Structure 1
Amino acid sequence: MALLLNNALQLFLLALCASITLTVYATPQGRIVGGETVDIASAPHLVSIRYKRNASTPFSHRCSGTIYSEDVVLTTARCVIGLERQQLLIVAGSSYRSQSDGYVYLVKSIAIHPDFDIWFIDNDLALLRLEFSLTSQNVKVINPIKLAETLPAAGSAATVAGWGAAAEYAEYEEQLHEAKVSIVDTAQCKEAYGAGRISAAMLCAGGASVNGVAVDACLGDAGSALVSNGTAVGLVSWGNGCGRVGYPGVYTNLVHFNEWISSEAIVPLIAMQCKSFAIKLWLLLTCCLAATASLGIQPAIIGGHEVNIIKHPYLVSIRYRLPADGAYWHKCAGVIITEKAVLTAAQCVREIETDRVMIVAAGNQRTGGDGKVYPATKWIEHPQFSTRTADYDIGLIFVDLPFELNASHPALRSINIREQWPAVNRLATAVGWGYREEFGPSSDNLEETKVPIVSRAECVSIYGSGEVTARMICAGYVKTGGQDVCQGDTGGPLLYEGQLVGLVSWGYGCARPGYPSVYTDVASLKTWIVEELQKAQS
């Protein structure tokens, strides 16, 4: 009975929330009133967030988003609340609301501000982390925007762009529009909406009235950035109708949320920026987008040098088959630990469909065919793996045919796990394929670099005690940076004296001073590894 009442209450609340949303802007979708048609190059930070109600319906524009970093898009909470990530697509680099001339990206995770109040649309902010990093090869149409550190003064000029109707109740426009508005004094905004309705998490902006219609954002523009002096100061949130004189648009105050955004953006939801290795792959998506783009989780060694696979014969490339063209692309690295098992990061095998993975061993190149191919039959992640903190970031992949470890092939060997940490400041070796600097370019050839072990205390002081757990080990040049792992090295080994110490997991950026890389401490999880290997043999 209690369960039935609870379900009924939830349905009532959802219906009520929906009605409240409708009274604000009719839907989360928005438009620009009183603006002019522009190309996406005028607002390269803008993306279209597209929504699919169910398996039988197509994706269509729901609201807008603002690019914060290579793999993070900001939008409003009410744009995505109640939705699963699988229902969303991000389309970047397009001037159009429904055409297929942009780059498509999947959503990995949705983080809604914990204080979001759906009744008053307060703290209306959400952060979308992308499955793969945005392409960096077309910055004219796809480019992050910096957040303002302070609010501009009342009367300051600003712009807002989006897709939608050119007038209240009209049909949506297909091409992007941009409008010029001015920051509205908070007191004036409170006078329009009521003092208790405008919080510190909001700011207001509007344009001059022309023929009784004010310049404004409207339905479908939710999540679009309010830009002043080249920085984002707000996101389109709500208002009384569209373009109504006396009622400015209300925006989420991004300056108010700077700290939350920056902290949420570096939290390793599956892994942070460079450590989650943004696979560069030529974009192809179910929306029939013809354009190609970099989509990826590719690895990177910064400040390293090329080596032959014979020096690291246990290293393998984990490749993932794309459904669109059937091609396999490097996703992560891993290490051979038995004749039929590869150890890697949990994030590398999470939510991957059957028959999509193969292992390439004894190969020097990330994309070449110089190695030996082993189809994967099964993969598992640690049951306690956390997508938020990347704790227990470890997984196993089992292959169909055994690795020929006892054969004469010099580039096929297994590796042993080191039982103890190396001493602090001892140089360990990281090896992988990928970027030679943050955001690319990547290297197709195997590289290695040396990095010193960082004490747990120092690592905790940098990232926080809640982020660095007992199952993690840190390494890197904290003071100087310059040498590190990066995109595409996820799951690859941290080595000391020829033994396995860690697996590349996460970190902030690549080779940045002050931020060491964080690795999974393999020895701390050896019991789980042994148990799973025994299960596989039985």
Structure 2
Amino acid sequence: MSRSWLVCLLAIMACLLASTHGLPLQENPLQEDEKSGGRIVGGYATDIAQVPYQISLRYKGITTPQNAYRHRCGGSIIAEDKILTAAHCIIGTVPSQYKVVAGTNYQTGSDGVITNVKEIIMHEEYFSEFAYNNDIAILVVDPPLPLNNFTIQTIKMATEQPLEGAVSKISGWGTTSPGGTSSNQLLAVDVPIVSNDVCDKDYENFGDETYRITASMLCAGKRGVGGADACQGDSGGPLVVRDVLQGVVSWGNSCALATHPGVYANVAYLRSWIDAKLAQL
């Protein structure tokens, strides 16, 4: 099987799996009557100055070049020309299908700074052995983003695991309920870190045996309570603890369930891969 056919097959499989278990690959279109004051599940409206590392990754289909770019996923600025996002956001696509928008509070319009994606570097072992394993990717953008330490700023990446119970902040333009409409206004939500051992037990009977919590993953959520979580359209975006990027929004069982925390790519665990790729660039 050729590499191109393999990539296409992986993309199709990822889409099918995401539609039933994980956060979907496609963006959720903003409905005409949606108000900007909506809330991410259990969260609150925020300002880009509070999360200046956040970007909107906008996409259009390769067969529909006449269409406008639309919000697909989030991402985090790790250098003036590098973005960290989720592998499931970009698998089976090419750089010309994307624009990165930084310094904006909104997922629509042309405010903020817009730049091009020049190169996509996806983890070679994404989805290996377990679903959404190693769900990480680096985007190289050109021209570089004009960092201003106010609305466009890099974020430090974790080198150590966050403590269980530490409060994390997740931000993005995702849906405000499972399968609902997305928010035009940037939103954030605060949830505690859940240990991988506990999280793995929560997912023990979810889906099939490939849906387990691995070392490349990190969990956060209000167990036994629910009501606060990232949701569809937040994929690829940041999970931050004390101004350090600890996670990348990856997958989960629906959104904000009391029984299943959200699952994130574990930046500290994946840091060696990230650093090796950055060094090559």
Q: Indicate the TM-score class for this superposition, using the shorter chain for normalisation.
A: 0.7 to 0.9
CA RMSD across the alignment: 2.2
Matching residue within 24, 27, 52 for 2:25: 27
Tell me how far apart the structure 2 counterparts of residues 157 and 13 of structure 1 sit (CA, whole Å): 35
Counterpart selection for 2:115 from 90, 93, 105: 105
Please give the alpha-carbon distance, in whole angstroms, between the structure 2 residues aligned to 1:38 and 1:208.
Answer: 24
Any runs of at least 4 consecutive aligned residues in structure 1 with deviations exceeding 4 A, and if so which? 9-14, 28-31
Shift of 1:29: 4.2
1:27 CA displacement: 3.3
The amino acid across from 1:123 in the alignment is: N
What secondary structure is seen at the aligned counterpart in 1 of 2:202?
helix
Select the residue among 9, 12, 17 that pairs with 1:15.
12
Contact 2:96 / 2:117 at 8 angstroms: preserved in 1?
yes
TM-score if structure 2 supplies the norm length?
0.86
**Greater displacement, 160-169 / 103-112:** 160-169
Structure 1 residues 183 and 86, CA gap change in structure 2 (3 angstroms): same
1:82 equivalent in structure 2? 92
Superimposed CA distance per residue, residues 446-486 of structure 1 (whole angstroms, 9 cap, x where no aligned partner): xxxxxxxxxxxxxxxxxxxxxxxxxxxxxxxxxxxxxxxxx
Q: Is the 8 A contact 2:8 2:92 kept in 1?
A: no
Deviations 1:386-435 (A, max 9, x none): xxxxxxxxxxxxxxxxxxxxxxxxxxxxxxxxxxxxxxxxxxxxxxxxxx
Match for residue 204 of structure 1? 219
Of structures 1 and 2, the one scoring higher in RCO (CA 8 A, sep 6+) is 2
State the secondary structure of the residue aligned to 2:235.
coil
Structure 1 185/10 Cα, relative in aligned 2: closer, same or farther at 3 Å?
closer
* Residue aligned with 2:88, SS: helix
**Residue 238 of structure 2 is aligned to residue 228 of structure 1:** no
Partner of 1:133: 144
Deviation at 1:215, TM superposition (A): 0.6
1:148-159 mapped onto 2 (5 Å cutoff)? 148-159=158-169
Q: Aligned partners of 2:145 and 2:8: how far apart in 1?
A: 37
Relative to the length of structure 1, the TM-score reads 0.46
Name structure 1 gaps, 5 residues minimum.
Answer: 269-538
8 Å contact 1:208–1:215 — kept in the other structure? no
Identity of aligned residues (%): 36
Larger Rg: 1 or 2?
Answer: 1
Pairwise CA distance, 1:43:
0.6
DSSP-derived class of the 1:218 partner: coil
Which residue does the alignment assign to 1:262? 275
CA distance, structure 1, for counterparts of residue 183 and residue 14 of structure 2: 27
1:49 aligns with 2:46: no
Structure 1 residues 10 and 162, CA, compared in 2 at 3 Å: closer, same or farther? closer
- Match among 101, 105, 111 for residue 95 of structure 1: 105
Please tell me the residue identity of whatever aligns with 1:121.
Answer: Y
| Equivalence for 2:77 | 67
Match of 2:134 in 1: 123
Output the CA distance in 2 between the equivalents of 1:42 and 1:208.
Answer: 26
Alignment of 1:208-287 (within 5 A): 213-268=226-281
Aligned residues: 261
Distance 2:249 2:258 in 1: 17
CA offsets 1:342-385 (integer angstroms, 9 cap, x no match): xxxxxxxxxxxxxxxxxxxxxxxxxxxxxxxxxxxxxxxxxxxx
Q: Quick one: distance in 1 between partners of 2:272 and 2:48? A: 28
Structure with greater strand percent = 1
Aligned-pair distance for 1:28? 4.9
Give SS of 2:270's match: helix
For 2:55, what is the secondary structure of its paired residue?
strand
